Structure 1
């Protein structure tokens, strides 16, 4: 998979949703391509409305900065080298966990963003999508 197609995004979102259901937390799961362009977004029943924008921006941030948003959280604390970065890009940068790049052969081809639970829950659900992506790569 050299690009994130709609079908691939649906597969990743399904894996993430299954993890969110297992946890009992309604989530929003968004997938973007390598340019941060929206591919698909899925809002589970009763997920927070605010989570739609947050999940999409987590995915965008992960692609735009080529790192998980959880790592960015560490780099953006007061006194750290990226402190204040969240105020750039029209406030689109998210500095807490739940956005993870999707890599294929060391190239970022997209990202997943998840919002709706605690930061730890968002990361766990996003990792389920990443694992589905990794698994799909090994079967190609």
Structure 2
């Protein structure tokens, strides 16, 4: 039997708070989402002024990073490189801004952000993850 880490409600709250702080410090209106390792939504925060569509895109980016076990940016680059078959995969969002949460070498979830430039979305996600004390 294998033991694995899992995100707690306190972890999700810490990630959302840290990501929110980073976004608001920069004046960015975004939606931030946190999912578990299976891509299931654990928390979502749509900041004031964030477009409604961001509440759909952010969890999709997080789900993509969690189940793919890598940043969603990698899939965007693959598609931009001509591998269009990835576009047929259902329920995932192949845009930068989804970042996996890794503890002791295991993906335990992911953060997805939508609302500003893709690199800024990823920056916010990483700021949220930095709030965790990962093994």
TM-score, structure 1 normalization:
0.88
Structure 1: gaps (5+ residues): none
Q: Give a deviation string over 1:37-91, Cα, whole Å, max 9, x none.
A: 11010111111100011000000000111110111111122524xx2313221xx
1:137 lines up with 2:131 in the alignment: no
Query: Which residue number corresponds to residue 122 of structure 1?
Result: 121
**2: distance between equivalents of 1:84 and 1:58?**
18
**2: distance between equivalents of 1:44 and 1:68?**
23
Query: Which residue number corresponds to residue 102 of structure 2?
Result: 103
Given that residues 104 and 134 in structure 2 are in contact (C-alpha distance below 8 angstroms), is that contact kept between their aligned partners in structure 1? no
1:17 lines up with 2:20 in the alignment: yes
**1: distance between equivalents of 2:87 and 2:130?**
28
Structure 2: gaps (5+ residues): none
**1: distance between equivalents of 2:95 and 2:134?**
27
**2: distance between equivalents of 1:75 and 1:58?**
15
Question: What is the aligned-residue RMSD (CA, Å)?
Answer: 1.5
Q: Kindly tell me the number of residue pairs found equivalent between the two proteins.
A: 132
SS at match of 1:48: coil
SS at match of 1:84: helix
Runs of 4+ aligned structure 1 residues displaced above 4 Å come to none
